[in-house]
Amino acid sequence: MSNAISLVYKDVVCYKLEVAINCSGKKMLDKVVFFLRVVRSGSISEAAKQNGISASAASRWLNELEESMGVSLLKRTTRKISPTQAGQRLYDRFSRIHTEIDDVFNEVQNMSSEDRGTIKIASTPLFAKHYLSQIIGEYLKEHSSINFVVIETAFEVDHVHDVDFAIRANATYRGFQDKDSLLVKRSLLREPLTVCCSPDYIERYGEPIIPDDLKQHLCLYATTLVGGNKWIFELNGEYNSVEIAQTVEADDSEILKNIALAGGGVAYLPYSLIGSEIGKGKLVPVLKNYVSSEFELNLYFKPRKYMPARCANFKDYLIKRVSEIEAFKRQGNNNAGATSQTSIMANPI
C-alpha cells in the first residue's frame, strides 16, 4: 500500500471511530477500551476477565466494534491474536487518548481532600500473605473509603495498565542487569538465597560439594525467579552458572520448601523462608563456600503525570511499612540472639 493511500486509509479509520463513538456513546467507548486490553494481553479471554464480562460477550463486543468501524481490527489464528493495520492505528491513537483521559480524571480527583476509589495490586503469593495483607489491614483503619483488589500471581505482570501496582520477585547476583522496562521500579526487600536440603536427603544421595554436582541431584526450583533452572554461584570473583536437573518446578516457594523437608530434593530459597528449619536441623545449607544469588522483591508501577492520590499515598505507606517491618525483625533478631533469630526470620517473603 502506498504512503498516500495508507494515510487516507488511516484517516478513514479515525473518522469512522469518531462517528461510531458519537453515535453510540459510552457503550462504544467501553468496547474500544476492551479492544485495547485485547491487544495488550494478546488474549480475548484474558481481556474479558479483566473487563468482567463473559467470553461470548467479549466476542460480540469485538464483532460490533468491527461492524461499526467497517474494518477488521484483529487477525485471529489458533496461536495468537494481533492487530491489523487498522487495529494498530486505532490502538496507537486511542491509547494516547485513553491515557490523557485518565490523567484528567486523576488530576480532578486529586483535588479532593479524601482518598476514594479502588487500588488494584498484583503480588507474589508469599508477599501478599505475609506482608501485603497486614499493610492493607492497617491502611483501611484510616482510609475506609478505599477498596482493594489483590491478584496473587507469581508470574510477571507485563501489562501494568490493568493494575496500579505489581510486586514481583527476582533472583539477582552481582553484575546482574534487569531487563529494560517502561515501568518505574522501587526496591522493597532483598536477602540471600540459600541452597538447602534435608539431612535424610544427604544420607541417601550425598551432599553436593561444588555447583556442578547439582546436575546429578534432584533439584527444586521456582519458575518465576531469574534464571529458572539456571542457578548462579560466585567463588573468588568467578561466576558459575549451572543448569540443574528439572526434578520439580513450581510457582510457590513454600511448596518447594515442603518438598525439601520431605527429602524430595535440593532447593534454592530465600533465607527467611527456611531460617527456622535450618535452626532446628530440619534443613541443611549446602555449598556454603559459594556466594549465592539474592532474592529481591520490587514494586513496579507505570509512570503517570498525575498518579491518583489514593495510589500515591498508599505507595508511600507500603514502602515505609515494609522498611519498618524489616527493621523491627532485625532489631528483634539482635535482641533475642541466635536461637530466636531463626524463628523470627521464619516469616517468609
Domain with CATH 1.10.10.10 in the chain: 3-109
Tell me what pLDDT residue 235 has.
Answer: 84
Structure confidence at residue 250 (pLDDT)? 79
Distance CA 338, CA 234 (A): 27
Among the listed ranges 25-29, 75-79, 185-189, 231-235, which one has the minimum average pLDDT value?
25-29
Choose from 134-138, 220-224, 305-309 the range with maximum mean pLDDT.
134-138
β-pair partners for 165: 121
What pLDDT, in 10s, does the model give residues 52-108?
Answer: 788 888 888 888 888 888 888 888 777 778 888 888 888 888 877 766 666 666 566
Statement: residue 146 has pLDDT above 50? yes
- pTM for the complete prediction? 0.59
In whole angstroms, give the CA distance from residue 120 to residue 104.
19
Question: Is 49 a residue whose pLDDT tops 60?
Answer: yes
Q: Between helices 55-69 and 26-41, what is the axis angle to 10°?
A: 110
Q: What is the mean pLDDT of residues 193-204?
A: 93
Query: Quick one: pLDDT at residue 121?
Result: 92
CATH match for 117-188+297-336 among 3.90.650.10, 2.40.50.100, 2.30.42.10, 3.40.190.10: 3.40.190.10
Q: List, by residue range, all CATH 3.40.190.10 domains of the chain.
A: 117-188+297-336
Tell me the average pLDDT of the chain: 76
* Domain 3-109 part of CATH 1.10.10.10: yes
What SS3 state is found at 109? Answer: helix
Domain with CATH 3.40.190.290 in the chain: 189-295
Q: How far is CA 1 from CA 7, 9, 76, 84, in A?
A: 10, 10, 22, 14
- Assigned architecture for domain 189-295: 3-Layer(aba) Sandwich (3.40)
| Average pLDDT rounded to a whole number, residues 197-224 | 90
Render pLDDT for 325-341 as a digit per residue (tens, 0 to 9): 877 766 655 554 444 33
Give the cell for residue 80.
495468537
Question: What pLDDT is stored for residue 306 in this prediction?
Answer: 64
Read off the pLDDT of residues 253-300 as tens digits, 9 standing for 90 and up.
888 999 999 999 999 888 888 888 999 999 999 998 888 777 788 898
Question: If you average pLDDT over residues 9-33, what whole number do you get?
Answer: 55
